[in-house]
Amino acid sequence: MANPRSRHSKQRQAKRRTHYKAVAPTLAVCSHCGAMHIYHTVCPECGYYRGKLAIVKAEETV
């Protein structure tokens, strides 16, 4: 594989990356507890995913 003969400047590197735009992840409402969570992930509040218990959450002692 060929290597560049000279270094590319930071400005040239930045111009190449200008088309990238960060987007926020899509959020969903948990059907079990109603909390917001990221799509296709286990709910961090209750541990349910697609209506089934995926992670057993430890009880918090106050």
Tens digit of each residue's pLDDT (9 = 90 or more) over 19-55:
877 888 999 999 999 999 999 999 999 999 999 999 9
On whether residue 31 sits in a domain, the answer given is yes
Tell me the C-alpha distance between 53 and 29, whole Å.
16
For the chain, the domain total comes to 1
Q: What is the pairing mode between strands 36-38 and 48-49?
A: unpaired
Write down the pLDDT at residue 27.
Answer: 95
Confidence of residue 60 (pLDDT cuts 50, 70, 90): low
Range of the domain at 32: 12-53
Beta-bridged to residue 36, according to DSSP, are 29
In which band, very low, low, confident or very high, does the pLDDT at 61 lie, cut at 50, 70 and 90?
Answer: low
With respect to residue 58, please indicate whether it lies within any of the assigned structural domains.
Answer: no
Instruction: Please report the pLDDT score of residue 20 as a whole number.
Output: 76
Residue 61 located in a structural domain: no
